Structure 1
């Protein structure tokens, strides 16, 4: 089978051995996979002298069910999430804990974004916001846009910020207050909260050390929260943290279970009554939100590329001013 990898700062298609099904896993023939620009472009940059598989969010058709699988059958269309099991490859071998059935009338291309959706949902769960509270989403790449849409669907008061006017305008079409000017965003925030500040700020931007860490503490209320979602170092001044008794939180991937070998490699799910929202259940929740038309992800699906032409798609994603937030890779195998 063919697979997409990063090597020596470039993207290549390689021929690899097709995976064989094993207990509690699904062998999936890929229909579509979604490029995650932030993560994958970073991996390309550190690929000198090695090969790194790219991708972590896809949708496909079940070709074979491993021993012990009872909730899926051959022919099911499923969304799946999580490297190293999910990537840009013609066939995927994925534990059932990282899969969810795609609703019957849902466009498979939308389901390819399920991994990004799960990460967005988990970030909002980490913030522990209640409906009616105010959240500022900073950085409107693919993940920031997804978080803002889901927060809006959850009846939160969403205020979004990005230096790109094009990305700001994309969210404004959903009726979400979005700004390319910090001053304008701050004015809206103070008006909306009667000068109290946001209940939480979600930092979805990149850039390692960033002045946003300092600024975000000014935007939250007393005992408010700052959640780091993007690739930012947690550099927060103690005096501002102390003054507001601020909470600094980090959101890791798509939810409980991520990087747990028992949950992923052995496909051992957590008890529903004790861990309500695992990464797999967050994938299913994203599918529900799209299926019920609570969120509109069509603006993310404007760029579809054939698998064989996928290496060229990464060039557009390097252009930060582009409205292209991701590319959907189509498989014609």
Structure 2
């Protein structure tokens, strides 16, 4: 029996059950151990603000168009993309895998998942890595892709707007790339954590005046060589543009929903020739596409954790058993200053 977390309507979560099917010869069955909750993408579905819920994505033309009933609607059954699990059954033609092996990958908040052998073979967890750290494969790959898109040079000043989970990983990666890193956030706990993890050199609380003006002051009026916006708030994107040096780059990693407010494109963007580039996991920079893909990003994040280059376990602030998933989402929404990575723990017994 498979149990799956489903969003039946905005802010309403239920657990559905269904019988799992038999394996095909080259498939394996995974039992989920841990599943991370994304405080960005998943919450857009939770709140009903995702454009996929009121428009239709035309993949052929890469356009959102008016929906006439064929867009994504509730219930939403594809919640979750930060999972780690264990092989519990192999099809008869599976030759390279064995029961007990640990696997990371996106398959949703569900107790079990069926995957083909190749999917699993490419996503085996390093043997010396704490299993719970497998949840960071996808979200870590998103962060790494953003740092690649930033084209950071050693010695540059990099301003990171937003130190949630993705921002924290971006900060660590930028610092390990030889940058002088400025972290900006509204919550002192996030700034302190990034400082303690040696991910940032300077912490700025966004409520203490203009971050852009402070960054201009510490860079001899030049501004950040690169700014990376990770909050998904268009006002923060505007401040990132203001903070950035003439003819330099802003990487927009946030998921911006609805109409943009507080974005003044006739000001610094126009007069400072700022290059704004979107970065998210659906694609890599064209010039790197021969060498980099999603699997390599995943595997690199796992390797960097195993080698101790990245320290991501401190980002996990809360763990809830699967049958308390509703409380987990409520905690993220109601206590943003106290939460970073929230994890659903499937190893704890599920009450009937």
Which range, TM-score by smaller chain? 0.7 to 0.9
Name the residue aligned to 2:58.
none
Q: Are the equivalent residues in 2 in contact too, given 1:23–1:68 (CA < 8 A)? A: yes
Q: Which runs of 5+ in 1 are unaligned?
A: 258-272
* CA distance 1:94–1:281, shift in 2 (3 Å): farther
1:1-333 to structure 2, matched below 5 A, reads 1-8=2-9, 9-18=11-20, 20-22=22-24, 26-46=28-48, 49-64=74-89, 72-81=97-106, 86-94=107-115, 96=118, 99-175=122-198, 176=200, 177-181=202-206, 183=209, 185-186=211-212, 189-190=215-216, 192-207=218-233, 210-232=234-256, 235=263, 237-238=265-266, 240-253=268-281, 255-256=283-284, 275-332=290-347
Unaligned runs of 5+ in 2: 54-72
SS at match of 2:334: coil
Q: 1:107 to 1:221 in 2, by over 3 A?
A: same
Report the Cα offset of residue 147 of structure 1: 1.2
Superposed CA RMSD in Å reads: 2.9
Displacement of 1:61 in angstroms is: 1.6
**CA apart distance, 1:291:** 0.8
1:267-288 residue CA offsets vs partner (Å, 9 max, x unmatched): xxxxxx9622211111111111
1:325 shift after superposition: 1.2
SS at match of 1:212: helix
Q: Tell me how far apart the structure 2 counterparts of residues 23 and 285 of structure 1 sit (CA, whole Å).
A: 30
Q: Go from structure 1 to structure 2 and tell me whether the alpha carbon gap of 1:134 and 1:238 turns closer, same or farther (over 3 Å shift).
A: same
SS at match of 2:34: strand
The 3-state SS of whatever aligns with 2:341 is coil
Instruction: State whether residues 104 and 124 of structure 2, in contact with CA within 8 Å, keep that contact through their aligned partners in structure 1.
Output: yes
Following the alignment from structure 2 to structure 1, what is the Cα–Cα distance between the partners of residues 154 and 283? Answer: 21
1:143 aligned counterpart, secondary structure: helix
Asked which structure has the greater CA Rg, the reply is 2
Secondary structure of 1:33's counterpart equals strand
Say which structure, 1 or 2, has more relative contact order (CA 8 Å, 6+ apart): 1
TM-score w.r.t. length of structure 2: 0.79
**Residue deviations 1:114-143 (CA, integer Å, cap 9, x gap):** 111111111111122223222111112211
* Equivalent pair of 2:105/2:137 in contact (CA under 8 Å): yes
Deviates most, 63-72 or 238-247: 63-72
Counterpart-to-counterpart distance in 1, 2:26 and 2:79: 24
